[in-house]
Amino acid sequence: MESNHRYFSRRAHEEKRAAQRAMTPQAQAWHRELAEDFARRAEQHATVLQAL
């Protein structure tokens, strides 16, 4: 089973790639925003894991 940290990291990477492929500036911005959110969540979960 995939950990939360790994899932959020993977999704951040996928959204960065989707932003690069997006056809419109609005789609690019949306995918970048999602990538940033997933990266932030991955960082939070990494911090929690380090505290354990």
Per-residue model confidence as pLDDT tens digits over 14-52: 999 999 999 999 999 999 999 999 999 999 988 876 777
The pair of structure tokens assigned to 35 is 């990538």
- Residue 25 Cα distances to 32, 37, 40, angstroms: 10, 18, 22
pLDDT for 47 equals 81
Burial class (CB in 10 A: 0-12, 13-18, 19+), 13: middle
The pLDDT confidence band at residue 10, using thresholds 50, 70 and 90, is: very high
What pTM does this model have?
0.87
